[in-house]
Copies of this chain bind each other. A is one copy, B any other.
Amino acid sequence: MTRTTPPPAPAAPSAPGTDRLMEHLAHAAACYYRSFAVVAAGQGLTLIQGKMLSLLGRPLPMRALAELLGCDASNVTGIVDRLEARGLVRREAAPADRRVKTVVLTPEGEEAVRRIRADIVAGLPGLEQLDDHDRRTLRDLLDRAFPHTTG
């Protein structure tokens, strides 16, 4: 993320089995992002452009996009510029605070998001192999391993 992030706290000895679990997590994360990148490239989009579109289920200020993407606010300008030039998003003035610009998906942007979502699933055939019980179990374990921050 930021290049000035202080080093994390020294690691404590980890529980047995952690190394193998980490390998599986690394593999799963790599597969997911590789599939996402391939799908985005299929529409002439970069990974980060596809991610931004996927975040725009509702209109969001530039600042909020920067936080959700985990990058500096100055980057959002260029990414939105390029998406706007392709007609996938548009900037709107926020009435409540005239400093704020809200980013909104265009109909073409919404269609791109639908295609991305569908193609991601199609690109990860292993997911379709899991039955309902396994899916619920996987969701539950992922949610405990990577809790959603409440704030």
Interface residues of chain A, those whose CB is within 8 Å of chain B, are 1-12, 14-22, 24-34, 37-39, 41-44, 54, 70, 115, 117-124, 126-130, 132, 134-139, 141-148
User: Which of B3, B11, B21, B34 is A139 in contact with, Cβ under 8 Å?
Assistant: B21
Task: Note all chain B residues with C-beta closer than 8 A to A120.
Answer: 22
Complex Cα distance A50/B40, Å? 24
* Chain B residues closer than 8 Å to A30, beta-carbon distance: 70
Q: Report whether over half of chain A's contact residues are helix, strand or loop; otherwise say mixed.
A: helix
Evaluate contact between A141 and B138: CB separation under 8 angstroms.
yes
Tell which of B14, B28, B146 touches A142, judged by Cβ atoms closer than 8 Å.
B28
How many Å from the CB of A3 to the closest CB on chain B?
Answer: 5
| Complex interface: chain B residues within 8 A of A124 (CB) | 145-146
State whether A17 touches B132 (Cβ < 8 A).
yes
> Which residue of A38, A70, A130, A146 has the most chain B CB atoms within 10 A of its CB atom?
A146
Give the CA-CA distance A74 to B95 in the complex, in Å: 48
Q: Report which of B8, B43, B146 forms a contact with A31, defined as CB distance below 8 A.
A: B146
